[in-house]
Amino acid sequence: MIDIKLIRENKELVKENIKKKFQDEKIPLVDEVEKFDEEARNLQAEGDNLKAEKNKISKEIGIFMQQGNKDAANEAKQKVLELNKRITEIDDRLPKILEEIKSRMMRIPNIIDSTVPIGKDDSENVEIKRFGEAKVPNYEIPYNADILESINGLDKESAGRTSGNGFYYLMGDAARLVTAMINYARDYMIDKNFIYCIPPFMIRSDVVNGVMSFDEMEAMMYKIEGEDLYLIGTSEHSMIGKFKGQILKKEELPITMTSYSPCFRKEVGAHGIEERGIYRVHQFEKQEMIVICEPEESMDWYEKMWRYTVEIFRNLNIPVRQLECCSGDLADLKVKSCDVEAWSPRQQTFFEVGSCSNLGDAQSRRLGIRVKGENGNYYPHTLNNTVLASTRALIAFLENNLQEDGSINIPEVLRPYMGGKEKIEPKEK
């Protein structure tokens, strides 16, 4: 949510930003907010003046009564009744106007950074840099479900019986490998001085509305029937929500945290749920990172955060690239965002394994997170980044570490988490 001062002082900037995001249908919201804001401020000023006048007249009534001037006192009382009627009208109208403003402000996208490339959708995202050599071996790389089958690592048939399409059982070394990668990612972030946390896996609707747009919520999140609770689609939501309504001390910044959680997603859309493999599923596990920092430091943190993900994947022997998200691919709360994509030697292309986002002060405004400063309270900036998501990371790992004989090499950084094992052997045929 942007600062309403932007609409008061430079509404054309806000409209131009909406155009850059190819959401022209939202342009009328700016004029509507301006109109309601003017009415709200006029009502507030009128109400304040009337209340001041009422207090003044109320004091005069006492003086008139002391003087025995009943006619003047009765006249003043009648005036107070008239003032009360108008004050009540204003008190009834003002909250409704403020709600009209809020509902529109929640739909107006955040102001994107000047460095964000302009484009309609993810097809116009821009590759910035590659890390590691994207190789295609001289032997076939099977589909991820087939690799997992070769090590007795995947059972989707049973998951279909227990839970339906979009779920899976990971078994044996495959399950152990996912846990190893997440534990390695956790320890990597702890070494970067991030506080480790296991957050709630359900959050209330006011937190959901504070961290994401309504459209995102409808497409992603599962609602708990009969309760004001949603299963988290990613743990940054409950991590940022931890600070809802809080006034932070300036010396506490930056707050840097890394969290583990399962994640639950509807995956609504044309892409659908994958029948055989684990690329797009309803449930996975993730190590996440969030930062709450001074506004002037957020871009520095943004650069650090996505690079942490790159280093983790390179240590797992996975080539990656950074892909800058264009304006049309940015969610409404984001100022700037990039994806980290892993190389798929099977498909001979890259696919998304993580996303890093700077949300400016949008989330802190929505959630009422403030910092106590010398010259008054202000809103900090929030950022989030995927450290490692289990299923996508597992696919990238299997494809890039699979050997010609069907065995899977285990990089040195994972061996302590795999009982010293250096490779996973395929089952006997």
CATH value at residue 33: 1.10.287.40
Q: Is residue 400 very low, low, confident or very high in pLDDT (cuts 50, 70, 90)?
A: very high
Total domains present in the chain: 2
153 and 77 in one domain? Answer: no
Please check the confidence at residue 38 and state whether its pLDDT lies above 90: yes
174 and 76 in one domain? Answer: no
> Is residue 381 a part of any domain in this protein?
yes
388 and 304 in one domain? Answer: yes
CATH value at residue 169: 3.30.930.10
236 and 88 in one domain? Answer: no
Residue 266 host element (H or E): none
411 and 262 in one domain? Answer: yes
DSSP class of residue 167 equals -
Picking from 105, 139, 170, the residue at the C-terminal end of a domain is 105
How far apart CA 205 and CA 223 sit, in angstroms, is: 9
**Domain region containing 54:** 4-105
> Is residue 429 a part of any domain in this protein?
no
For the segment 103-130, what is each residue's pLDDT rounded down to a tens digit?
A: 999 999 999 999 999 999 999 999 999 9
Q: Which two tokens stand for residue 32?
A: 């509507």
How far apart CA 172 and CA 158 sit, in angstroms, is: 15
> Is residue 113 a part of any domain in this protein?
no
> Is residue 317 a part of any domain in this protein?
yes
163 and 28 in one domain? Answer: no
SS3 239: helix
417 and 290 in one domain? Answer: yes
Percent of the chain with pLDDT over 70: 98
28 and 80 in one domain? Answer: yes
Please tell me the number of Cα atoms within 13 Å of 87 on its side-chain side.
15
For the segment 266-317, what is each residue's pLDDT rounded down to a tens digit?
A: 875 545 566 788 998 999 999 999 999 999 999 999 999 999 999 999 999 9
How far apart CA 175 and CA 153 sit, in angstroms, is: 7
For the segment 79-98, what is each residue's pLDDT rounded down to a tens digit?
A: 999 999 999 999 999 999 99
177 and 61 in one domain? Answer: no
pLDDT number for residue 274: 63
